[in-house]
């Protein structure tokens, strides 16, 4: 046995663990990020997230039947409460799973709205314009209806119809797919289709466990709208990363990057809550930066790219920094005014992308998600 074979034999693939934490949304914003108020509640290397959320749903529903007794320090009386889930923060792939959505590679790639179509349709003027807007919103009732229709199609033994339905709606659920795969095996051409479908429905209804995403059965929670756009992955590891990659691959030479490193390192960080700028590291490992690097670049890059960018590229960097300033705010005093300014900042960034990289919004769904951020802020408040 050679060394390579020994290494392969000893290698054990690392299991993927989903860990979920919760925090009280009624707390003041200054307390939400404190570790004391963040509570672990589930993990598993084997069960999918939707399977694990079934236990969470059961716990929420148990408080509806028997509210939890506690002491109210404000009124000095015993009181009771029930649990409500106002939101499901996570990265984009995880949120798609929580919404029973196919993800960003689907024909209808947005988990929040119905924008989409075939690749040819997306490139038409009408669809391209619609991508810059929040389309007709999805909702829990619609998702449940789509999954029920897929189960009915599986009882008829029509896999092609199921795939077409999933592509046409963007809805696909792991738990439902498990039951679809089982019912599809009951196909028997010697029997009438309606008879088989009737027996399968009776059998499926008698089976224990959930037939679809348990998050669709929590009062007050609409996963399609209560999965807020996550700023780390959508803005820093999305929009800012795209801009950084575009400038490095389409604009800057090695001399430009050397000049940029000098400028970045000389940045006056007074008034900025960022770690020291390691410009040499950022330039040397330009393709391996993480969130903290992009958060720094978002705030300072516009001051350092004069003479090494086109006017359109500078406008893109500037509008991205302006949007970041509107998103990372500790407190909002006037929500209506804030949302108006936020909407303007988003539109300005999308316009700047059109001038520099017009296909980016079609290729990368994170750019489209920007238009849903104002709605998330309204729901959160």
Tell me the per-residue pLDDT of 139-161, one tens digit each, with 9 for 90 and over: 999 999 999 999 999 888 888 99
Calpha distance 197→296 (Å, rounded): 58
Phi, psi (degrees; rounded to nearest 5) at 276: -55, 140
Question: What six digits make up the tokens of 198?
Answer: 């009737």
pLDDT in tens, 44-61: 888 878 888 998 999 999
Strand (E) or helix (H) holding 279: helix 279-284
pLDDT band at 304 (very low <50, low <70, confident <90, very high): very high
pTM (2 d.p.): 0.86
Q: What percent of the chain has pLDDT over 70?
A: 93
The SS3 assignment for 28 reads coil
On average, the pLDDT of the chain sits at 88
Between the alpha carbon of residue 42 and those of residues 18, 20, 88, 346, the distances in Å are: 8, 5, 14, 36
Between the alpha carbon of residue 332 and those of residues 29, 190, 201, 326, 343, the distances in Å are: 11, 67, 52, 10, 15
Residue 3 has pLDDT above 70, yes or no: no
Residue 240 has pLDDT above 80, yes or no: yes
Calpha distance 218→215 (Å, rounded): 6
């Amino acid at each position: 046995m050679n060394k390579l074979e020994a290494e392969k034999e000893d290698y054990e693939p690392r299991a993927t663990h989903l860990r979920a934490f919760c925090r009280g949304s009624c707390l003041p914003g200054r307390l939400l990020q404190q570790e004391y108020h963040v509570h672990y509640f589930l993990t598993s290397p084997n069960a999918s997230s939707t399977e694990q959320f079934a236990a969470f749903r059961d716990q929420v529903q148990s408080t509806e039947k028997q509210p939890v007794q506690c002491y109210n320090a404000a009124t000095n009386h015993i009181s009771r409460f029930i649990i409500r889930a106002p939101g499901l923060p996570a990265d984009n792939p995880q949120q798609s799973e929580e919404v029973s959505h196919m993800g960003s590679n689907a024909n209808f790639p947005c988990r929040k709205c119905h924008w989409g179509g075939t690749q040819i349709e997306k490139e038409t003027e009408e669809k391209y314009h619609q991508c810059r807007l929040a389309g007709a919103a999805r909702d829990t009732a619609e998702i449940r209806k789509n999954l029920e229709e897929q189960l009915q199609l599986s009882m008829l033994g029509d896999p092609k119809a199921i795939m077409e339905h999933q592509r046409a709606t963007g809805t696909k659920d792991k738990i439902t797919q498990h039951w679809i795969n089982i019912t599809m095996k009951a196909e028997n051409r010697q029997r009438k289709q309606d008879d088989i479908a009737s027996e399968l429905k009776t059998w499926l209804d008698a089976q224990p466990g959930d037939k679809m995403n348990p998050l669709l059965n929590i009062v007050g929670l609409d996963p399609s709208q209560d999965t807020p756009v996550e700023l780390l992955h959508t803005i820093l590891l999305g929009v800012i990363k795209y801009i950084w990659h575009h400038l490095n691959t389409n604009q800057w030479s090695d001399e430009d990057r050397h000049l940029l490193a000098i400028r970045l390192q000389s940045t006056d960080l007074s008034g900025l809550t960022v770690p020291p700028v390691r410009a040499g590291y950022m330039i040397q490992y330009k393709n391996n930066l993480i969130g903290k690097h992009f958060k720094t670049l978002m705030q300072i890059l516009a001051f350092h790219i004069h003479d090494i960018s086109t006017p359109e590229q500078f406008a893109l960097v500037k509008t991205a920094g302006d949007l970041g300033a509107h998103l990372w705010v500790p407190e909002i005093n006037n929500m209506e005014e804030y949302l108006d300014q936020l909407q303007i900042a988003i539109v300005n960034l999308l316009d700047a992308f059109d001038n520099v990289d017009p296909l980016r919004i079609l290729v990368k769904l994170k750019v489209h998600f920007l238009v849903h951020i104002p709605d998330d802020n309204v729901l959160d408040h």
